[in-house]
Amino acid sequence: MVRPNAGTKGVPRLDRETQILDIASEHFGTHGFAATSVAAIADRAGISKPLIYNYFVSKEGLFEACLDRGGALLAEEIERIARGDAVGIERGMATLAGMFDLLEPQPYLWRLFFDPTAPSTGPIADSIALYADRIGKLADEGVTELMGLAGNNDPLDISAMTAVWLGIVDSLMNWWMEHPEESAEQMMQRCMRLLTALFGGASE
Protein backbone atom coordinates (compact mmCIF):
# COMPACT_ATOMS: atom_id res chain seq x y z
CA MET A 1 0.00 0.00 0.00
CA VAL A 2 2.97 2.25 0.61
CA ARG A 3 4.25 1.58 -2.92
CA PRO A 4 1.14 0.50 -4.77
CA ASN A 5 3.01 0.46 -8.07
CA ALA A 6 6.28 -1.15 -7.10
CA GLY A 7 7.62 -4.16 -8.90
CA THR A 8 7.40 -5.61 -12.36
CA LYS A 9 4.22 -5.99 -14.33
CA GLY A 10 5.72 -8.83 -16.24
CA VAL A 11 5.26 -7.38 -19.71
CA PRO A 12 7.94 -8.67 -22.13
CA ARG A 13 10.25 -6.05 -23.54
CA LEU A 14 9.10 -6.35 -27.15
CA ASP A 15 5.45 -5.98 -26.23
CA ARG A 16 6.22 -2.96 -24.10
CA GLU A 17 8.34 -1.40 -26.80
CA THR A 18 5.56 -1.84 -29.30
CA GLN A 19 3.05 -0.28 -26.95
CA ILE A 20 5.35 2.68 -26.27
CA LEU A 21 6.01 3.18 -29.97
CA ASP A 22 2.28 3.15 -30.69
CA ILE A 23 1.57 5.83 -28.12
CA ALA A 24 4.66 7.87 -28.92
CA SER A 25 3.93 7.84 -32.66
CA GLU A 26 0.45 9.13 -32.02
CA HIS A 27 1.69 11.94 -29.77
CA PHE A 28 4.57 12.94 -32.01
CA GLY A 29 2.42 12.72 -35.10
CA THR A 30 -0.44 14.68 -33.62
CA HIS A 31 1.33 17.40 -31.63
CA GLY A 32 4.82 17.41 -33.10
CA PHE A 33 8.18 16.55 -31.56
CA ALA A 34 8.68 19.77 -29.60
CA ALA A 35 5.21 19.76 -28.06
CA THR A 36 5.42 16.15 -26.87
CA SER A 37 6.84 15.21 -23.47
CA VAL A 38 8.25 11.84 -22.53
CA ALA A 39 6.42 11.99 -19.21
CA ALA A 40 3.10 12.32 -21.04
CA ILE A 41 3.86 9.21 -23.08
CA ALA A 42 4.85 7.29 -19.96
CA ASP A 43 1.61 8.36 -18.32
CA ARG A 44 -0.51 7.23 -21.23
CA ALA A 45 1.30 3.89 -21.26
CA GLY A 46 0.78 3.48 -17.53
CA ILE A 47 4.49 3.10 -16.89
CA SER A 48 7.30 5.24 -15.52
CA LYS A 49 9.64 7.50 -17.46
CA PRO A 50 12.86 5.57 -16.73
CA LEU A 51 11.51 2.51 -18.47
CA ILE A 52 11.23 4.48 -21.68
CA TYR A 53 14.77 5.75 -21.28
CA ASN A 54 15.87 2.23 -20.50
CA TYR A 55 14.47 0.97 -23.80
CA PHE A 56 15.01 3.98 -26.08
CA VAL A 57 17.91 5.94 -24.49
CA SER A 58 16.55 9.44 -25.15
CA LYS A 59 13.60 11.41 -26.46
CA GLU A 60 15.37 11.62 -29.77
CA GLY A 61 16.02 7.90 -29.73
CA LEU A 62 12.34 7.30 -29.15
CA PHE A 63 11.39 9.59 -32.00
CA GLU A 64 13.90 7.88 -34.23
CA ALA A 65 12.44 4.49 -33.41
CA CYS A 66 9.01 5.84 -34.37
CA LEU A 67 10.46 7.15 -37.63
CA ASP A 68 12.11 3.84 -38.43
CA ARG A 69 9.03 1.76 -37.81
CA GLY A 70 6.67 4.19 -39.56
CA GLY A 71 9.01 5.04 -42.39
CA ALA A 72 9.67 1.42 -43.31
CA LEU A 73 5.94 0.80 -43.38
CA LEU A 74 5.17 3.79 -45.59
CA ALA A 75 8.12 3.47 -47.92
CA GLU A 76 7.60 -0.23 -48.52
CA GLU A 77 3.96 0.26 -49.35
CA ILE A 78 4.62 3.14 -51.74
CA GLU A 79 7.41 1.19 -53.37
CA ARG A 80 5.13 -1.79 -53.79
CA ILE A 81 2.57 0.38 -55.56
CA ALA A 82 5.25 2.00 -57.71
CA ARG A 83 6.11 -1.46 -59.03
CA GLY A 84 2.53 -1.74 -60.34
CA ASP A 85 1.61 -0.54 -63.80
CA ALA A 86 -0.61 2.44 -62.96
CA VAL A 87 0.49 5.70 -64.58
CA GLY A 88 -0.30 9.39 -64.15
CA ILE A 89 -3.36 10.24 -62.08
CA GLU A 90 -4.17 6.54 -61.76
CA ARG A 91 -0.90 5.91 -60.05
CA GLY A 92 -1.64 8.76 -57.67
CA MET A 93 -5.00 7.30 -56.81
CA ALA A 94 -3.54 3.83 -56.36
CA THR A 95 -0.97 5.29 -53.98
CA LEU A 96 -3.68 7.07 -52.06
CA ALA A 97 -5.67 3.86 -51.78
CA GLY A 98 -2.61 2.07 -50.44
CA MET A 99 -1.95 4.84 -47.92
CA PHE A 100 -5.53 4.78 -46.68
CA ASP A 101 -5.45 1.02 -46.21
CA LEU A 102 -2.09 1.11 -44.51
CA LEU A 103 -2.85 4.07 -42.27
CA GLU A 104 -6.40 3.17 -41.40
CA PRO A 105 -5.64 2.91 -37.71
CA GLN A 106 -3.02 5.66 -37.60
CA PRO A 107 -3.17 8.46 -40.16
CA TYR A 108 -0.87 10.56 -37.93
CA LEU A 109 2.07 8.33 -38.92
CA TRP A 110 2.36 10.30 -42.13
CA ARG A 111 3.04 13.53 -40.29
CA LEU A 112 6.08 12.19 -38.47
CA PHE A 113 8.07 12.92 -41.61
CA PHE A 114 6.81 16.44 -42.10
CA ASP A 115 7.23 17.82 -38.59
CA PRO A 116 8.66 21.34 -38.57
CA THR A 117 9.47 21.08 -34.86
CA ALA A 118 11.75 18.07 -35.24
CA PRO A 119 15.48 18.72 -34.75
CA SER A 120 17.03 19.86 -38.02
CA THR A 121 20.45 18.35 -37.32
CA GLY A 122 21.76 15.08 -35.97
CA PRO A 123 20.53 11.52 -36.35
CA ILE A 124 16.86 12.51 -36.39
CA ALA A 125 17.33 14.86 -39.31
CA ASP A 126 19.24 12.09 -41.07
CA SER A 127 16.51 9.58 -40.43
CA ILE A 128 13.80 11.95 -41.61
CA ALA A 129 15.80 12.82 -44.69
CA LEU A 130 16.26 9.14 -45.41
CA TYR A 131 12.58 8.28 -45.43
CA ALA A 132 11.37 11.62 -46.79
CA ASP A 133 13.78 11.11 -49.67
CA ARG A 134 12.60 7.57 -50.21
CA ILE A 135 8.97 8.68 -50.24
CA GLY A 136 9.77 11.88 -52.09
CA LYS A 137 11.72 10.05 -54.76
CA LEU A 138 8.76 7.85 -55.58
CA ALA A 139 6.41 10.80 -55.56
CA ASP A 140 8.83 12.62 -57.81
CA GLU A 141 8.93 9.65 -60.15
CA GLY A 142 5.15 9.51 -60.39
CA VAL A 143 4.88 13.26 -60.89
CA THR A 144 7.61 13.23 -63.53
CA GLU A 145 5.63 10.61 -65.44
CA LEU A 146 2.42 12.60 -65.13
CA MET A 147 4.03 15.86 -66.19
CA GLY A 148 5.85 14.13 -69.01
CA LEU A 149 2.54 12.94 -70.42
CA ALA A 150 1.51 16.60 -70.55
CA GLY A 151 4.78 17.59 -72.20
CA ASN A 152 6.23 19.40 -69.19
CA ASN A 153 9.73 18.37 -68.12
CA ASP A 154 10.83 21.45 -66.17
CA PRO A 155 12.64 20.20 -63.04
CA LEU A 156 11.38 23.04 -60.87
CA ASP A 157 7.82 22.53 -62.06
CA ILE A 158 8.15 18.88 -61.19
CA SER A 159 9.61 19.71 -57.79
CA ALA A 160 6.74 22.09 -57.03
CA MET A 161 4.15 19.61 -58.25
CA THR A 162 5.66 16.91 -56.06
CA ALA A 163 5.43 19.22 -53.07
CA VAL A 164 1.79 19.89 -53.91
CA TRP A 165 1.09 16.19 -54.23
CA LEU A 166 2.66 15.45 -50.85
CA GLY A 167 0.69 18.39 -49.44
CA ILE A 168 -2.51 16.88 -50.76
CA VAL A 169 -1.78 13.57 -49.11
CA ASP A 170 -0.89 15.45 -45.94
CA SER A 171 -4.13 17.41 -45.89
CA LEU A 172 -6.17 14.27 -46.53
CA MET A 173 -4.48 12.56 -43.59
CA ASN A 174 -5.20 15.59 -41.42
CA TRP A 175 -8.81 15.63 -42.51
CA TRP A 176 -9.04 11.94 -41.78
CA MET A 177 -7.67 12.48 -38.28
CA GLU A 178 -10.53 14.88 -37.69
CA HIS A 179 -13.05 12.36 -39.04
CA PRO A 180 -11.98 9.10 -37.41
CA GLU A 181 -15.32 7.45 -38.07
CA GLU A 182 -14.44 7.33 -41.76
CA SER A 183 -13.11 3.99 -43.11
CA ALA A 184 -10.25 3.68 -45.59
CA GLU A 185 -12.77 2.49 -48.15
CA GLN A 186 -14.95 5.56 -47.59
CA MET A 187 -11.95 7.89 -47.79
CA MET A 188 -11.00 6.39 -51.12
CA GLN A 189 -14.48 6.73 -52.55
CA ARG A 190 -14.58 10.31 -51.38
CA CYS A 191 -11.31 11.02 -53.14
CA MET A 192 -12.67 9.52 -56.35
CA ARG A 193 -15.68 11.81 -56.11
CA LEU A 194 -13.46 14.84 -55.55
CA LEU A 195 -11.38 13.88 -58.54
CA THR A 196 -14.37 13.52 -60.85
CA ALA A 197 -15.79 16.80 -59.56
CA LEU A 198 -12.51 18.50 -60.42
CA PHE A 199 -12.30 16.98 -63.87
CA GLY A 200 -15.96 17.55 -64.64
CA GLY A 201 -16.72 13.85 -64.58
CA ALA A 202 -14.38 13.25 -67.51
CA SER A 203 -11.70 11.27 -65.65
CA GLU A 204 -11.32 7.49 -65.89
Partner DNA sequence: GCAATATGACCTTTGAGTAAGTTACCATGG
Partner DNA sequence: CCATGGTAACTTACTCAAAGGTCATATTGC
Q: Which residues bind DNA (CB under 7 A)?
A: 3, 5-13, 16, 36-39, 46-51, 53-54, 57-60
CB of 46 to a second copy, least distance (A): 23
Residue 140: partners with Cβ closer than 8 Å, 6 or more residues away: 158, 159, 162
Residue 72: partners with Cβ closer than 8 Å, 6 or more residues away: none
Q: How far is CA 186 from CA 101, 182, 183, 190, 193, in A?
A: 11, 6, 5, 6, 11
Closest CA to 122 of 55, 54, 59: 59
Q: Which is nearer to a second copy, 80 or 179 (CB)?
A: 179
Q: Does 58 bind a second copy (CB under 8 A)?
A: no
How many of the chain's residues bind a second copy (CB under 8 A)? 41
Q: Does 72 bind a second copy (CB under 8 A)?
A: no
Residue 22: partners with Cβ closer than 8 Å, 6 or more residues away: 106
Q: Does 11 bind a second copy (CB under 8 A)?
A: no
Answer with the entry of a second copy, DNA, none that 200 interacts with (C-beta below 5 to 8 A by kind).
a second copy
Residues that bind a second copy (CB under 8 A): 30-35, 111, 116-117, 146-147, 150-152, 154, 156-157, 159-161, 163-164, 166-168, 170-172, 174-175, 179, 190-191, 193-194, 196-201
